[in-house]
Amino acid sequence: MCFWLYGRIQERLLNIRRNQGGLCGHMDTARFEKIRNMAAGSARESHGIGTLKEKTVHAVFKDYYAPQPDMVEIPVDGYVADIFTGEEIIEIQTGNFNKMRSRLDCFLPNYPVTIVYPIPEIKYLCWMDEETGECSKPRKSTVKGSVYRAFYELYKIKPYLSHPNLRLCFPSMEVEEYRLLNGWSRDKKRGSSRYDRFPRALLGEFRINKLDDYMQLIPDGLPEPFTAQEFGRAVKERKETAAKVLHILNYLHVVEQCGKKGRAYVYRIAEIDLAINEK
């Protein structure tokens, strides 16, 4: 970040360092908080977040999931893996899953690969003026992230999702997002650029290690058969998001189409092939 933004953002980073994350599931929130605080300290020393090409969320989660510091940024078969333990590869992705295809082609035949995709479950927005360096106070966004919205990215690697060596990890986080006031609308917010994100707290984790783990995405009490609209209503997501989820679940034979209701496809839960699931 440019030097003139340092003064505006320094206080924000100090406040972030004082936040406490709550323990959820088997997450090591104490370790995450330590890594997050180190990132905040590094940002202050370098006059702001996002100074390096590597963005903050990616850097924090890479350090968090690496068992040892010397296991990060390791060359593997012509690529540089985010984390390589010697037996397993862990890739931190914050988007652009289409760029993962060639890496998966290379890694999956030889190693178990876990893709970590952080979910911004709770988000606070901070707006920065490019000309004055003024940074607004963080305001809580009404938009909540969920694992269901990750399926827009999973669609880009759909052919790889059934590979027995592929695993998915979705840590949910509370995050502070910095956006530049450079959009096309009058208030310069619509069409604006995201500069960086800084994780405030680790809230939980959702993992898919085998095929039947996708069943966790089917809400209890969902009547069969069901449409995308009914599925979306049950999981509190838009119909378009629900349709994307069901498209992939149908591809993986977790659910199956069983007819139509008007113009809408209807689905039911499929019987998972245990032989495939246990690979």
Domain that holds residue 131: 3-209
Note whether 225 and 102 are same-domain residues: no
Confidence of residue 223 (pLDDT cuts 50, 70, 90): confident
Q: Is 34 helix (H, G, I), strand (E, B) or coil?
A: helix
Note whether 88 and 161 are same-domain residues: yes
8-28 pLDDT tens trace: 444 444 444 433 333 334 678
pTM: 0.83
pLDDT surpassing 70 at residue 277: no
Sheet-wide strand order for 264-269:
226-227, 264-269, 255-261
Last residue of a domain, one of 186, 209, 232: 209
pLDDT at 41: 65
112-134 pLDDT tens trace: 999 999 999 999 988 888 777 78
Confidence of residue 42 (pLDDT cuts 50, 70, 90): low
54-93 pLDDT tens trace: 689 999 999 999 999 999 999 999 999 999 999 999 999 9
The CA distance from 208 to 112, in Å, is: 13
pLDDT surpassing 70 at residue 44: no
If one counts the domains in the chain, the total is 2
| Helical packing angle, 6-18 and 29-45, nearest 10° | 160
Give the CATH number, domain containing residue 244: 1.10.10.10
Note whether 189 and 53 are same-domain residues: yes
